[in-house]
Chain A
């Protein structure tokens, strides 16, 4: 079966982004970028399913500007077979991304559609569920375990207070949580080899997707810092400090 993995290029998770002086947006000029961590788990899972002989072809797709080719190369170096850049200068929100991905799914006809559970820049966590809805397909979000037998996927999901197991018939949309797997490191020879793998550029306009721009970011700001704390020298001092706050400790 064919697996499609949707990946997003985001600011590296170690970097604390800054707000532009005019508060119009975050300043990500020259900041280190990479594959959204959850999307790396999604790629890794597709590769493991291929190694098990369940998946036969892995297509990685991203929507964004030309700079996004680097994360596609990364996916190819990890083990994806082909990559597709849906090129646009536009900033899309989750619904827009889901609409574009729907068009890609209709073209590629994958059996397994994998995404990350959330992008660590917008922290929306919506695209997978929206894509499933638009395709009228079942969804299994926050996957920490996926097993596939015939046309059924059994997915263990991380939910509040524990886990839930769902059985969905394929094709289905599954979103990856961090505990799904440990993504493999990309070695230099893999990156060299990945240059030979096909990477297709598709202009967004050619997909015939109608997009609205109903969500606007009016401004961004740095959250108020917590007031500076104090260091205490021992447990007794800590306790006496805590007792100054009413009702916290007896």
Chain B
């Protein structure tokens, strides 16, 4: 039997997490295929075909897939699943929207955000905002899951898998894409950045994100992140939220500025290699998970740090 990976992309580039999902998929020791569903699939298919460990790239190409809905993708994936015992994707807003729908149509359970694949039916995943690790086993005939990308290395490129076209049923009419608004940024994407500088409620304004945090992020070529309190207060856009409800990051360096370190925030960053916390409250929770803690007023410490770099 085979494993199918659902690839995420932006129309031009394969998401870097796909290569990580390919590594995770090797756990089943069976051929791994990658599905590209896109309006223009050729360049994307070539990128997927170059990943070491991929047997076949399935191409679902249709103009309607410029902005695919979960309903449409599920209708493409479910018939394909007859040939697969494992359907997986890297955990993201995209995959966690689509795969539960696929799993239910296949009448199997789904395992979300897998941190470790113990064996072909057994997984470790976080529950209670990552405060507990649960080992779960699924005896379903098909395994449908998402994996935490940062827990798996990216597969190397340089291979040349074959490609194959698959049928695309008409898009369901009950759901229609209307618009998308992406916060444009020259910075590296949050989920993939090597360095993340995050600001909390203490920043106090959107201006402070721009004037205090951004210069530090510039020097470090870092992505900017935020706590929920900062996002809710309108200091930062919602897609920068790190945590249980936002993005999970695992950079080489995470600098938490004026963030208290609530468990929901910690969920999103405690796998970072080195954590720095700058907070004026020596009792702040964030210091418990920081490698280096600095008790200071961020409005003094951050400009000093920026100047010293």
On whether the beta carbons of B128 and A242 are closer than 8 Å, the reply is: no
On whether the beta carbons of B140 and A214 are closer than 8 Å, the reply is: yes
Choice from B127, B263, B274 contacting A122 with Cβ under 8 Å? B127
Choice from B92, B108, B245, B294 contacting A160 with Cβ under 8 Å? B92
Q: Is B79 an interface residue (CB 8 A)?
A: no
Choice from B179, B232, B264, B308 contacting A236 with Cβ under 8 Å? B308
On whether the beta carbons of B293 and A164 are closer than 8 Å, the reply is: no
On whether the beta carbons of B289 and A138 are closer than 8 Å, the reply is: no
On whether the beta carbons of B138 and A234 are closer than 8 Å, the reply is: no
CB distance from B260 to the nearest CB of A (A): 13
Choice from A120, A230, A245 contacting B293 with Cβ under 8 Å? A230
Please, which residues of chain B bring their CB within 8 A of the CB of A230? 291-293
On whether the beta carbons of B177 and A164 are closer than 8 Å, the reply is: yes
Contacts A123-B128, A218-B122 given: A179-B238 contact, CB under 8 Å? yes
Q: Is B63 an interface residue (CB 8 A)?
A: no
On whether the beta carbons of B174 and A177 are closer than 8 Å, the reply is: no
Please, which residues of chain A bring their CB within 8 A of the CB of B263? 16
Nearest A residue (CB) for B74? A133
Interface membership of chain A positions 154-196, coded 1 if the CB is closer than 8 angstroms to chain B and 0 otherwise: 1000111111111111001000011100000000000000000
Choice from B109, B175, B195, B244 contacting A214 with Cβ under 8 Å? B109
Interface membership of chain B positions 254-292, coded 1 if the CB is closer than 8 angstroms to chain A and 0 otherwise: 000000000110000010011110000010000101111
On whether the beta carbons of A98 and B104 are closer than 8 Å, the reply is: yes
Please, which residues of chain A bring their CB within 8 A of the CB of B131? 16-17, 222-223
Please, which residues of chain A bring their CB within 8 A of the CB of B304? 235
Please, which residues of chain A bring their CB within 8 A of the CB of B173? 169
Contact stretch, chosen from B31-39, B41-49, B180-188, B202-210? B180-188
Please, which residues of chain A bring their CB within 8 A of the CB of B167? none
CB distance from B241 to the nearest CB of A (A): 9
Contact stretch, chosen from A44-52, A62-70, A124-132, A197-205? A124-132
CB distance from A122 to the nearest CB of B (A): 6
Interface of B is mostly: mixed
Interface membership of chain A positions 71-105, coded 1 if the CB is closer than 8 angstroms to chain B and 0 otherwise: 00000000000000000000001110010000000
Q: Is B13 an interface residue (CB 8 A)?
A: no
On whether the beta carbons of A164 and B294 are closer than 8 Å, the reply is: no
Nearest B residue (CB) for A127? B100
Q: Is B157 an interface residue (CB 8 A)?
A: no
Please, which residues of chain A bring their CB within 8 A of the CB of B30? none
Q: Is A207 an interface residue (CB 8 A)?
A: no
CB distance from A19 to the nearest CB of B (A): 6
On whether the beta carbons of B178 and A142 are closer than 8 Å, the reply is: no
On whether the beta carbons of A121 and B136 are closer than 8 Å, the reply is: no
CB distance from A4 to the nearest CB of B (A): 18
On whether the beta carbons of A26 and B180 are closer than 8 Å, the reply is: no
Rounded to whole angstroms, the CA-CA distance of A137 and B93 in the bound complex is: 20
Rounded to whole angstroms, the CA-CA distance of A214 and B98 in the bound complex is: 21
Rounded to whole angstroms, the CA-CA distance of A122 and B134 in the bound complex is: 9
Rounded to whole angstroms, the CA-CA distance of A133 and B71 in the bound complex is: 8
Q: Is A209 an interface residue (CB 8 A)?
A: no
Nearest A residue (CB) for B274? A245
Choice from B96, B108, B176 contacting A167 with Cβ under 8 Å? B176
Choice from A124, A127, A169, A229 contacting B287 with Cβ under 8 Å? A229
Given contacts A125-B112, A168-B175, 14 further A-B contacts (CB under 8 A): A11-B128, A19-B132, A26-B132, A124-B112, A129-B97, A133-B74, A154-B178, A165-B178, A215-B137, A223-B131, A226-B275, A229-B293, A231-B292, A242-B292
Q: List 18 A-B contacts (CB under 8 A).
A: A16-B263, A95-B107, A120-B244, A123-B130, A124-B112, A141-B97, A161-B182, A172-B174, A214-B139, A216-B137, A218-B135, A218-B137, A220-B132, A221-B133, A221-B135, A223-B126, A229-B289, A241-B292
**Residues of A that sit less than 8 Å from B by CB:** 11, 13, 16-17, 19, 26, 93-95, 98, 120-134, 137-142, 144, 154, 158-169, 172, 177-179, 214-223, 226-227, 229-232, 234-236, 238-239, 241-242, 245, 247-250
